[in-house]
Amino acid sequence: MDVDRVLIAEPRGFCAGVEMAIKALAWMVRAFEPPVYCYHEIVHNKLVVDRFRDQGVVFVDDIAEVPPGRPVMLSAHGSAPEVVAAARQSGGYVVDAVCPLVTKVHHEVKVRAGKGYQIVYVGHEGHEEAVGTMAVAPANIHRVETLEEVAALPAFEEPVAMLAQTTLSHRDWSGLRDATVERFPDMWVPGRSDLCFATTNRQTALLEMAPRCDAIVVIGSSNSSNTMALAKLAAEAGCPRVFRVNSADELPDDLTGTVGITAGASAYEELVDAVIERLGHTKATAEAVRVTEEDEYFPPPRNLRDLVAAIDVVATLTLGGSLPDRPPADDRGLPASDVLSTL
């Protein structure tokens, strides 16, 4: 390869919700004897999931697959109310690692449905977040993904609200929002956008970088909605070559000129380092394209924090110290990438 310059988007990679979920599952791995179960992939990244599998985590797509009494984590994408109830009824320790931004949308669905609204929900068919959100009020919610589906919506007699999957591209959301407003001029929308701030920040950084690039590499898995949105956005921005890769060994051998790199919200920094190295550069020689700083922090679920604190008390009384090889209870300054590297 003859890559003259490498640009790296900032922010990129893990968002606050992914950081929280990964650290929470790492705590569970160290607090319980294996296997620990997780409903759906904890985040949409194959390498992250495989690393947890190596530690005895079993990922299931049906909560009934979790044996009674076994600890189970519910993924960051959010789960249907009946799934949460079934997990708690199984008798095991349950940690719900749902992203707080998804919880906000679930709450909005519940409130609007309770007030008699019909809800137009923009989301990807089959995506775990969309499935879990729609299950909050299935009789009142109508998923759309295209302008044709908006046009096919019935002429509701009830008031109409509009909500969205948090990981959508802003361009996709805005086009569907405008079309839905045209159909339902009095439609209610939340005062604060449902779109994840981290998703929006990554897209903004990509658009800032794209005009300078001969090629853009988007790191992340194909089942990651925000990763695929980044790849689509890079192509729409006019970049002549766009590659979505899971790892550095998937890169083509003929990249030249200026190459931009970004990473979806479920891709960890180790993968970025490997891609830069594969291009014949280092972070010291790469140029950062920064549009904002992210300092959001979501603490692990309270019941898990309480469990870890209790374990520390017992360990102090019986062993003279806290359990080894476990992230500290105050983990604000501990990146999830560092936690993964210790697994």
CB 71 within 8 A of CB 92: yes
| Residues across the chain | 343
The yes-or-no answer on residue 148 being catalytic is no
SS (HEC) of 295-340 = CCCCCCCHHHHHHHHHHHHHHHHHHCCCCCCCCCCCCCCCCHHHHH
Report the alpha-carbon distance of residue 80 to residue 221 in Å, rounded.
24
Of these residues, 10, 19, 108, 129, which one is catalytic? 129
CB 216 within 8 A of CB 210: yes
Report the alpha-carbon distance of residue 217 to residue 242 in Å, rounded.
6
CB-based burial, 86-101: b 16+ in 10 Å, e otherwise: bbeebebbbbbbbbeb
Active site residues: 129
